[in-house]
Amino acid sequence: MSREIEQHLERARQQISHQNLRAAIESLRRALSIDADHAGAHALLALCLHDERRIHAAEHEARLALALEPESPLAHYAMAITQQAQRRFAVAEDHLRQAIALDPTSESYQLALARLYQLWDKHAQAVPLLEKARELAPDDPDCWATIADHHLQLGEFDRADAATRRALELDPQNADALLVMGHLLLRSGKVADAREHALLVLRENPLHAGGIALLGAVKARQSLFLGLWWRFNSFVGTGSATRRVLMLMGLFVLYRVGVMLAGDLGYESAQLPMQLTWLAFCIYTWVGPTIFQKQLQREMQPARIDPKY
């Protein structure tokens, strides 16, 4: 590898670490202008394009990296990230397992597979990967932030708080840890502090999906209409898929039992209000996510153009 290419790659890595993605993309393109067959440059470019939400371009670069160097763990990792973004979880899992087989000492690939399982709602399968990553890199803030997010999703808030604080001790600017802390603060009613944590992330990367989502959640929490939906969604959405299904089924059973009991006890006049209440509840929980997504979209523009960022 020529010294000039190495300089471009090292500059790109530093720019990525500072979330300066556009500059990193330019550095990688300069490296590729010197050697168009550099698999590592293609893989890093794929990761940058993914973070810029240019998923199809990212997948193209990841495929080029794999074609040039099929045994590159970084290329498999880049391909996995692009497949995960398109919810092709099984394909992403296969590439991450290949990356781990090629480089079993890297905690990054262990954490990536754990995050995939969290997104896939396979929390039990994430646990041994998190433990292995912590064993490989006990002082890695990304590891502790991922552990914190795991506990947050399972509703284990005290353990999430402890892991988040450990991550922030190691790296006060760690975006994932800041987001977990922001969600914990929002749950405890500290809305202003949660908003500040979202802005800390967005100042570094205005396109950060997690930062935008947290800022949208803050706005929803403050909204009179969306506030109730946000609390309900936060309560029901915590934990495993089985728990969520059982809770929703339980609510429906309670509604049906209530209607039947009202009829059996001679309170037929109460049945219609109960049915209308249930219908209103269903409509509210159905339109809530749509309105929330629109809230997120509105938050994206201020995050991009506000000079404070």
Each domain of the chain, given as residue ranges in start order, spans 1-107, 154-309
Residue 295 pLDDT > 80, yes or no? Answer: no
Tell me which of 31-45, 103-117, 195-209, 231-245 is least confident: 231-245
The yes-or-no verdict on residue 301 having pLDDT over 60 is no
Q: What is the pLDDT of residue 303?
A: 44
Mean pLDDT across 245-255: 76
Name the fold adopted by 154-309: 1.25.40
Q: Mean pLDDT in the chain?
A: 86
C-alpha 29/C-alpha 32 separation (Å) is: 5
**Distance in angstroms (rounded) separating the CA atoms of residues 42 and 32:** 8
- Domains 1-107 and 154-309 equal at CATH topology level: yes
Cα-atom radius of gyration of the chain, to the nearest Å?
Answer: 23
Is 1-107 in CATH node 1.25.40.10?
yes
pLDDT tens digits, one per residue of 7-22: 999 999 999 888 889 9
**For residue 264, is pLDDT > 90?**
no
pLDDT of residue 297: 59
Q: Which of these, 102, 105, 98, lies nearest to 79 by C-alpha position? A: 98
Type of residue at 285 = T
Cα separation, 122 vs 301, in Å, equals: 34
Predicted confidence band of residue 27 (pLDDT cuts 50, 70, 90) = very high
Residues 27, 22: Cα–Cα separation, whole Å: 9
Q: What is the pLDDT of residue 227?
A: 57
